[in-house]
């Protein structure tokens, strides 16, 4: 096309982000009743949203003609109370943690700059690096998807701007040991981005890694309202950062990026302790249910997130996922995750009934 040449060459090389499939898409493709489809492919909250968040959205719906406060101070103060960090150390995004990643990339990346990414992991780190003119440098995880500080640091050079550590990792579900992270933080001048999208579901709860923000000037701890807080549709994310970084972030973030309804629902969800407790309990119980139901049929990796990952070799993930889709069960084929091979499947923890259905279906297929 005539105008395609105007797109930056680094962007033209990016492979499309592959999201989890939607209920509408699958209902249409396989002629299924949407009501009978279960969606366990995008790590959403099976309980639905917090009732307090829904009430807040209703209450604020009549005020959407007004701009929100540009610095989202009330929301940042509520997050500050929840995390124990001053509001000055909290930055927010109205496009989920993806938006935080994007803004950070705009801050740090330039032509020739590198990021270090242990794979397989969340694919947006790679896309955001390329989209901002940088070069992603990959480190392969070991057979259990662990990473060592030595392997990571071996890839760091004077061009390295950011290192991405996802804990619990998507799609493998394992956490990075704290001493490994500390060794990386201590021994590098690059920014270490710790993605804690799933940390609420980890055995130790909110990690003490965020404590490193007080001790290090090169750490970002990314979090989201999309998982434990059940607000994936509102697209709200935040990060805990050192003072200097918070000032730089505010300079380049999109003005008014967090909308009125996201602010109101985020504050309400943070205050709904009962809902948060229940969503974490549901996931922890469901994780056990899925693991014990599936482990006699295939390898199940231990997970501290709201999903589990299974290996269906010698079958391929594509084959098993397709058969599940035909009967209305959406899970995630991990083939599109760089370095994941072709036999891994990620299954989000659902309600007891959804978990039971997925176990029975996989039993039938395998």
Contact set with ligand PLP (CB under 6 A): 43, 96-98, 122, 166, 170, 195, 197, 224, 226, 232, 237
Residue 95 Cβ vs ligand PLP, minimum distance, rounded to whole Å: 7
Measure the CA–CA gap between 231 and 128, rounded to whole angstroms: 23
Phi/psi of residue 165, nearest 5 degrees: -125, 115
Alpha carbon dihedral 243, 206, 277, 295, in 10-degree steps, equals 140
Pairing of strands 160-166, 191-195: parallel
26 versus 231: smaller Cβ distance to ligand PLP = 231
Residue 193 Cβ vs ligand PLP, minimum distance, rounded to whole Å: 10
166 versus 359: smaller Cβ distance to ligand PLP = 166
Match 């602010």 to its residue by tokens. Answer: 263
Burial class (CB within 10 angstroms; exposed 0-12, middle 13-18, buried 19+) of 20: middle
- Given a contact cutoff of 8 angstroms between Cβ atoms, the answer to whether 230 and 81 are in contact is no
Residue 297 Cβ vs ligand PLP, minimum distance, rounded to whole Å: 25
56 versus 197: smaller Cβ distance to ligand PLP = 197
Residue 201 Cβ vs ligand PLP, minimum distance, rounded to whole Å: 12
User: DSSP H helical segments within the chain, as ranges?
Assistant: 9-12, 23-30, 51-60, 73-83, 96-108, 124-131, 149-154, 178-187, 212-215, 243-252, 260-270, 273-294, 317-326, 352-365
231 versus 310: smaller Cβ distance to ligand PLP = 231
Q: Which of 351, 277, 266 is nearest to 47 (CA)?
A: 351
Compute the C-alpha angle 197/199/200, nearest 5°: 110
Residue 330 Cβ vs ligand PLP, minimum distance, rounded to whole Å: 14
Residue 224 Cβ vs ligand PLP, minimum distance, rounded to whole Å: 3
Residue 208 Cβ vs ligand PLP, minimum distance, rounded to whole Å: 19
166 versus 240: smaller Cβ distance to ligand PLP = 166
57 versus 128: smaller Cβ distance to ligand PLP = 128
For 314-332, b/e burial (b = at least 16 CB within 10 A) is ebbbeebbebbbeebbbbb
Residue 296 Cβ vs ligand PLP, minimum distance, rounded to whole Å: 28
91 versus 361: smaller Cβ distance to ligand PLP = 91
Burial class (CB within 10 angstroms; exposed 0-12, middle 13-18, buried 19+) of 16: exposed
139 versus 361: smaller Cβ distance to ligand PLP = 139
């Amino acid at each position: 096309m005539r105008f395609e040449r105007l797109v930056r060459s680094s962007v033209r090389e990016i492979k499309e982000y592959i999201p989890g499939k939607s209920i509408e898409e699958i209902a249409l493709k396989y002629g299924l009743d949407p009501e009978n489809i279960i969606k366990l492919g995008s790590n959403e909250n099976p309980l639905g949203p917090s009732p307090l968040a829904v009430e807040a959205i209703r209450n604020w719906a009549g005020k959407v003609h007004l701009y929100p406060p540009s610095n989202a101070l009330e929301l940042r103060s509520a997050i500050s109370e929840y995390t124990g960090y001053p509001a000055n150390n909290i930055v927010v995004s109205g496009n989920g943690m993806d938006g935080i990643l994007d803004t950070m990339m705009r801050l740090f990346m330039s032509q020739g700059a590198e990021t270090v990414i242990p794979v397989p992991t969340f694919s947006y780190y790679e896309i955001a690096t390329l989209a901002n003119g940088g070069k992603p440098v990959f480190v392969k995880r070991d057979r259990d998807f662990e990473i060592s500080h030595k392997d990571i640091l071996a890839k760091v050079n004077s061009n390295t701007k950011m290192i991405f550590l996802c804990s619990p990792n998507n799609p493998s579900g394992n956490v990075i040991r704290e001493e490994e992270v500390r060794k990386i933080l201590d021994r590098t001048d690059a920014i270490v981005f710790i993605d804690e999208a799933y940390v609420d579901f980890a055995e130790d709860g909110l990690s003490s890694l965020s404590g490193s923000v007080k001790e290090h000037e090169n750490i970002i701890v990314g979090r989201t309202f999309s998982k434990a807080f059940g607000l994936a549709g509102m697209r709200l994310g935040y990060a805990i950062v050192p003072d200097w970084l918070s000032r730089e972030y505010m300079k380049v973030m999109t003005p008014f990026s967090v909308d009125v309804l996201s602010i109101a629902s985020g504050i309400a969800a943070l205050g709904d302790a009962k809902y948060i407790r229940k969503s974490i309990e549901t996931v922890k119980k469901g994780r056990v249910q899925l693991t014990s139901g599936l482990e006699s049929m295939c390898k199940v990796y231990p997970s501290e997130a709201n999903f589990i990952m299974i290996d269906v070799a010698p079958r391929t993930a594509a084959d098993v996922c397709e058969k599940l889709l035909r009967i209305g069960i959406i899970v995630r084929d991990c083939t599109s995750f760089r370095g994941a091979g072709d036999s891994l499947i990620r299954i989000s923890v659902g309600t007891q009934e959804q978990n039971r259905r997925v176990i029975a279906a996989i039993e039938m297929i395998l």
